Chain A
Amino acid sequence: MLDLLDEIERWLTEGHRVALARVIDVQGSSPRDPGAAMAVCETGEVRGSVAGGCVEGALVSEALKVLETGAARLCTFGYSDDEAFAVGLTCGGTIKIFLELVS
């Protein structure tokens, strides 16, 4: 998390908008525990991770929506999702992620 905040601070100092995503709940098998975090800069740069790499791509587009609207959002990724085949966790678990704009 310290590495992430170092980077977030740098992006903000450069005048960029930044979104922070945090795993807040995990059901079943999942690579990372709650608390795992990922930061997305409006330039498209990404730091950190919330899973094993399987949902990070989809999460970037969610983060870009947060950057656009400024509104926080909750996302769920997993097999129970309609989009399971697109962005599901290959390990079969479900993770809930909270995304917010950092100011």
Chain B
Amino acid sequence: MQGVLAAAYDCLRRDEAFAFATIIAMRDNAAAHAVPVGSKILVKADGSAIGDLGSPELNAAAATRLLHALNESRGGLWHCGVDGEAQRDDLTIYIDAFTRRPRMIIFGAVDFTRALVRVAKTLGYHVSVCDARGAFATAERFPEADDVIVDWPHRFLRGLTPRLGPSDAVCVLTHDEKFDIPALVEVLRTDAGYIGAMGSRRTNEKRRARLEAEGVGADQIDRLMAPIGIDIGARSPEETAIAICAEIIATRSATPVPSLRDSSGPIHRVAGHEDGDLTQCRVEDDDSSNAR
């Protein structure tokens, strides 16, 4: 591969954000343009450019457009003159924008984690698993994860670069206050787009109180999706992973879904019972159970 596509390939492999423009059509009056249809220019986040659309003025106008597309992570069609003039349509240019892969950080190296890693990888996330217990956080247990880190979650978060942003997700599956609380205090200081924590409704009440006691504001605590996932009656680690990822997608697209956080009643239902029987099949809302 040569030229701009080779540069694009390089950026994708290094997980670097970039945008590139391709001339896809020319009007007859632009037939004398210095370069043919298919010509490209690529711009990276640092402003550096490679490629040529046929005139210095057009290249400069394209670079400005591309940086904007990169920041908005949104491409599209652009009509302009042969020197990038607005309100002309001599050239039709298509802009592609690529951001770095979104990150998912999973705290807690438990069975639910392995299933969540798999679903998150399917969705294109760069997935990190972090747990302070070296016996559990091993690459052998999570072969699909991009990295497995043995560290205290809050310490790992403090050292994380770049900082978490709106397209990133954090899932706290540790089920252990001494890891959960410091991790959540730290996560709620970031701009992560999705923050979820596993645990029963009772665990969650206690968790909210502990976070308040740590000085986390109510509006910040309200960002927390807990119990984690949407209410689809998920039970196994794999089903739970789907319920969590469905909630992450819905959060990103601002689509209303039946999140467990916004409902009441049992998280796990016994199969075969109708809604009217819910009171009879309420599972023990006990921290020792693996209730979400």
- A residues in contact (CB < 8 Å) with B: 1-2, 5, 8-9, 12, 20, 22, 24-25, 34-35, 72, 74, 98, 100-103
Contact = CB atoms under 8 A, between A and B. Distances in A.
B22 interface: yes
A85 B9 CA distance: 37
Interface residues of B, number: 20
A24 B92 CA distance: 11
A9 B9 contact: yes
Interface string B69-93: 0000001110000000000000000
B213 interface: no
A11 B5 CA distance: 14
Contacts of B13: 2
B24 A12 contact: no
A74 B75 contact: no
B115 to A, nearest CB: 23
Interface of B: 1-3, 5, 8-9, 12-13, 22, 24-25, 36-38, 75-77, 94, 96, 98
Contacts of A8: 1, 5
Given A5-B8, A9-B1, A9-B9, A72 B38 contact: yes
Nearest to A98: B24
A72 B24 contact: yes
